[in-house]
Amino acid sequence: MNTIKTHGWLYLNTPKNCRALASLLIASVLSVATAACTTSTTNTQNATETTPMSTATTATETQFMSINDRQIAYRSIGEGAPLLLINRFRGTLDTWDPAFIGSLAESRKVIIMDYPGIGYSEGTLSLDAKEVAADVKRFAEQLALGKVDLLGWSYGGLIAQYVAFLHPDTVHKVVLVGTNPPGKPEVPMEQAFQQHALKPAYALEDYTVLFFEPKSESSRAAAKASMERYWEKVDHSKVPGTMEMFQRYIGGMRGVMADADDLRKEFATTEVPMLVLMGDHDISFAVENWFPLVREAPKMQLVVFPEAGHAPHFQYPTMSAAYIDGFLR
């Protein structure tokens, strides 16, 4: 599998899906900011990158904010325009790859938060994605962030879309990583997700299957390197691990899939620019689920990373940060 980058376009030459992918992507709005393109490179042989560790890869101490009588935990790192990160299924303040966070923090202030009832935060995670989005809005308002840039990964990407569509005055730009648009997905989750995602704790193989591309040796190497950067520092007692907690996430996701409010149609008219970063084989949220929107979402850009899974930003941390920085400028 090779990647060819020319004139701000990302074209994936993949034996598995090159014809369909190329026709959809090259005819689409898949433009990438020039600044991002000039600062990132792709290893066409190994489909991974050598990650220079930033000198600022660890967020500051945990802080708390009271929202509706609940103490909501957050951390921040860097200086400049704020970028608020919204986390994945079972993710906490501890589970962001420091190589990615450090790369982002070189050009802006990065803020990470735990949902109510998750990780270090008090309360209960709502079964309604609209309520979770409202909590994110309240958090941003209470920090006086103004019109904020959001980055949502996985479940957090669903929430970020709800914030953008339901509270557009709160949002400047949105980055979506490894997630789906609202509505029923054309390509469902793979069985491998269920086999690995609900385990009480993740071993390296679980981490690789869930977030990377296990069929690729270079992606396996990237998974090992990512895990070694931070996994031992995670407070695993804070990571959601019960079926009761899983059902809370799943309840929110089911609501997004049902899309009773038809938020999917908002892609056609929203004024909020969106950058979507996906791996070419995401077992949770398949990149193919974005293809029907390519010509229907004038404010959306789609970037697909080769030999990558649910966490392309962990496999390609500096390149992902460069795309994001260029998009947010």
Q: Where are the domains of the chain?
A: 2-328
Helix (H/G/I), strand (E/B), else coil: 309: coil
Alpha-helix residue ranges (DSSP H) falling in the chain: 18-26, 34-39, 98-105, 129-142, 155-166, 191-197, 204-211, 217-230, 243-258, 312-315, 317-328
pLDDT over 70 (residue 311): yes
Question: What's CA 228's distance to the chain center, in Å?
Answer: 20
| R_g over Cα of the chain | 18
Q: What is the mean pLDDT of residues 108-131?
A: 98
Share of the chain above pLDDT 90, in %: 82
The lowest-confidence range among 49-63, 131-145, 263-277, 312-326 is: 49-63
From CA 16, how far away is CA 185, in angstroms rounded?
A: 20
Which superfamily does CATH assign the domain made up of 2-328 to?
Alpha/Beta hydrolase fold, catalytic domain (3.40.50.1820)
pLDDT in tens, 25-76: 323 333 333 333 333 333 433 455 755 444 344 557 999 999 999 999 999 9
Q: Which residue has the higher pLDDT, 90 or 49?
A: 90
Q: What is the mean pLDDT of the chain?
A: 87
pLDDT over 60 (residue 279): yes
pLDDT at res. 47: 55
155 touches 253 (CB < 8 A): yes
pLDDT at res. 60: 77
